[in-house]
Amino acid sequence: MQRNKFSLMALGGAVAVAVAAVMTPCAALASDAQHWQIVTATANLGDGWRASAENITRTSQARGFYELEQNVMLGHDLGPNGGPLGLVFYLGYTHDPQYAHGDFTIMEHRFRQQLSADRLLTLGSLRISGRMRLEQRWREGVTGTAWRLRPQIKATLPVVGRLALVASHESFFDLNRSSFQRMGGEERMRNSIGLNIPLSRRIAFETTYMNQHGFVPGGKDSNDNIATFEIKANF
């Protein structure tokens, strides 16, 4: 009974934070309001191998439909079942056409390497996972290769039944400068909070509020309010 009471309080507090963030006037908090639709599928291939595919459609108030990111990754457990931390090493490719109000602007390709820790830390029913992602990016018709590091940490807390509260932080660090990656250092960070709702044994729906903060040297930083809706399937 005490655990259920705590879970309900945590859920109520999280929802209040998310609603307050969304209701903050755009002039005070955000440079843009965005909506992301995500579909992710992960398949266990056996013998420690797994494959994943992800499709992300992004639209915004300022830019309309502006991106269709498609990712494929192949991973292998580091040790039996990834060992105590659930370590998995991935290699992947990203196909990333970009648009402005639906009109194609440029094609970006990415090669990624990723180390994931599915069981980084457990505190009671709270589970912490994380990953370190390294990307090399190319754009068609543009010279240079942009290197970028993206560490992420995510917390999952069951609240009522199989319903879970999720929160995450991700930073983007530009490791070099190129013709289209001109900053160097931390470029942006993403902080999100939301709910993971199981629909069946293998499929879940996850919705979050995300704030994306962009660092602008010599100018005003940007803050984007983003609503994400994701279907996750595991086979």
For 95-147, what is each residue's pLDDT tens digit?
999 999 999 999 999 999 999 999 999 999 999 999 999 999 999 999 999 99
By residue range, what is the domain housing residue 90? 2-62+69-97+119-128+152-170+187-234
Range scoring the smallest mean pLDDT among 1-10, 184-193, 207-216: 1-10
Please count the structural domains in the chain: 1
Residue 144 falls inside a structural domain: no
Residue 141 falls inside a structural domain: no
3-class state of residue 207 by DSSP: strand
Residue 212 falls inside a structural domain: yes
CA distances to 108, 133, 189 from 47, rounded to whole Å, are 33, 23, 35
Question: 């995500």: which residue's tokens?
Answer: 38
Q: Which residues share a beta bridge with 119?
A: none
For the full predicted model, state whether its pTM sits above 0.75.
yes
